[in-house]
Amino acid sequence: MKDEKRLLYWILIGSSGGQNRACILKELIEKPCNANELSKILNLHYKTIKHHLQVLKKNRLIISSSEEYNKFYFPSDLLENNIELFNEIWEKIWKKNIK
């Protein structure tokens, strides 16, 4: 199993908060956002969003603009290169659980 596949499975399925991280990634793939926008779109507390963004950034799945305030988040090259795997996980695991 490739390292990227292990990483995506662990981040999205094998650890607590995976469903929230999957939803965040799905939104960022559609359109780059800041934490406040994600909080409103996903109806999650701002601090929860910030925590998951840090986890995703630490694991190289997202990147951010260099601004401190109103920082925008984007899919990383790692995520974009593995978008088919992400979509496969989304379809099989999360799509049926998300309304």
Helices (H), the chain: 3-9, 18-30, 35-42, 46-58, 77-81, 83-89
| Predicted pLDDT of residue 94 | 62
Residue 97 lies in a domain: no
Domain CATH code at residue 39: 1.10.10.10
In a domain, residue 88? The reply is: no
Report if residue 91 sits inside a domain: no
19 domain-assigned:
yes
> What was the pLDDT predicted at 95?
63
Digitized pLDDT (tens) for each residue of the chain, 99 residues in all: 588 889 999 999 888 899 999 999 999 999 999 999 999 999 999 999 999 999 999 999 999 987 777 899 999 999 999 999 999 988 877 666 655
Tell me, what's the pLDDT at 92? 79
Q: Locate tokens 């359109």: which residue?
A: 31
For the chain, state the CA radius of gyration: 13
Do residues 20 and 53 lie in contact, with contact meaning Cβ atoms separated by under 8 Å?
no
The answer as to whether 68 is a domain residue is yes
Residues 1-24 as b/e (b if ≥16 CB within 10 A, e otherwise) read: eeebeebbbebbeeeeebebbbbb
State which residues form the domain around 70.
Answer: 3-83
Residue 98 domain flag? no
pLDDT for the residue numbered 33: 95
Q: Is residue 25 part of a domain?
A: yes
Residue 96 lies in a domain: no
d(CA 53, CA 59): 10
pLDDT for position 1: 57
Q: How many domains does the chain have?
A: 1
57 contacts 63 by C-beta, under 8 angstroms = yes
